[in-house]
Amino acid sequence: MTTSHYIAGRWVEGQGSDCIRVNDPALGQPFAELMAASIAQVDQAVTAARAALPAWKATSASERAAYLRGFAEQLDQRREALITLQMRNSGKPRHEAEIDLDDAIATFSYYAELAEQLPSKNREVPLAAAGFSARTRLEPVGVVGLIVPWNFPLVTSAWKLAPALAAGCTVVLKPSEITPLIEQAYGHIADSLGLPAGVLNIVNGKAETGAALSNHNGLDKLSFTGSNSVGSQVMRSASVQCRPVTLELGGKSAIVVFDDCDVDQAVEWIVAGITWNAGQMCSATSRLLVQDGIADALLPRLQAALENLRVGNPLTEEVAMGPLTSQAQWLKVAGYFATAREEGLQCLVGGRALDRDGWFVSPTLYAEVPKSSRLWSEEIFGPVLCARRFATEEQAIAEANDSRFGLVATVCSADLARAERVADALEVGHVWINSVQAVFVETSWGGTKGSGIGRELGPWGLSAYQSVKHVTRCLG
């Protein structure tokens, strides 16, 4: 698997110094390896994207839409192989891997439709002043660097790649070194479709590769999804060039359960919000705010649900939750378990790594967690839920908003007027009411505060890759 970089329409061997080992997290063992791209190869990829830009942005919206539909169709044709790879490299249960693939397909199909609906390049703008005419043009922002994370490979890259191509941008995609294989499908599909060379480039590598891309002066925009620590470095590099950046970063999201909620239904929403992808989600609702009147009934049932959750190897068992995706993440979560013991937190279930091969931890619930606890305020990125009680609606809103993050939240209540009112008061980018975390391509994705800058998905995702130009002419 040495020819794992797609540059200027060709598969090439990595020339970097890093060897990337690709692991099966359910076994804790590598099953593939590849050489990282060199800094020179990153430059070659950006140069190829720059060379391809004039012709690609000159293509019609309908031509670009046809390519995007081709991506959707060919992802579906590769369905079983991609699902299996997600299960093996990411540790996702089959039903999660299937949803990931369907999300990627839906994203390409949606932006194909949006591309066809793009207004003509010139649109007249009415002016109050006489003697002048004005028109506006929507143009591609240019060459874009896309850096995507390991927790939702294929999906996050689709969220960036599809609108960028629809807008007429050319791209350099850098997957995570933890899950570098599945994004190669995009290169193979580009070959099959005859996508012009240089429109899509893929370079794999670790931090050095990501830094080489984010620092490259040949980019017109950078879109990054990942941790806040790396996101701040990406933002600094963008500031040197004064170029636009989209950042989708961390979260420490709240799920608010009012006492008029059906207990069993609430348990289902809570469990899904903290155990999907083994809690490795920036949107994980890891802070449970439960109203006094329902807490004594809800917490024992939630404890039982987490105790009975089936955890195991998705390739050999039918499971509800797989392993953590990397050893580094497993060690990080184990460190939080140790911190919880040091802080004397009340653990109702879990709080430990599982004694088996691979990087498994138990679904975990801590009760009455003080706001001073690190586990209440810091993003853990694992199936670790911290609960606190509240008395009033005002208290729930205040505690939910008391965070440096602002990505998502969930509100559970039979009183829909109250649920809508609370949703409006929460300082986040996306709120679910009485639902699991269903994400639709037509809606927006992104957060406030420390959770990032900009929005993905929906028409906002397309506009993130467009530049607005006005032309004003004197009629005299």
Catalytic residue among 169, 261, 282, 386: 282
Q: What is the dihedral of CA 336, 337, 340, 344, to 10 degrees?
A: -160
Could you tell me the two tokens for 113?
């439709």
169 is catalytic: no
What does the DSSP 8-state code read for residue 30?
E
Q: How many CB atoms lie within 10 A of CB 265?
A: 13
Could you tell me the two tokens for 202?
């893929």
**DSSP H or E segment with residue 143:** strand 143-147
Among residues 324, 320, 312, the alpha carbon closest in space to that of 23 is found at 324
Residue 170 neighbours by CB under 8 Å, 6+ apart: 49, 50, 52, 53, 56, 142, 143, 144, 198, 199, 200, 201
Helices 94-116 and 61-77: crossing angle in degrees, nearest 10, is: 160
248 is catalytic: yes
Task: Give phi and psi for 298, each to the nearest 5.
Answer: -80, -45
Could you tell me the two tokens for 112?
């194909």
8 A C-beta contact, residue 407 and residue 429: yes
Rounded to 5, what percent of the chain is helix, strand, coil? 40, 20, 35
Return the residue matching tokens 């505690």: 399
Catalytic residue among 177, 183, 248, 379: 248
Q: Give me the amino acid identity at 398.
A: A
Among residues 92, 201, 107, the alpha carbon closest in space to that of 150 is found at 92
Could you tell me the two tokens for 25?
């997290």
Q: How many CB atoms lie within 10 A of CB 415?
A: 13
Q: Annotated catalytic sites, by residue?
A: 248, 282
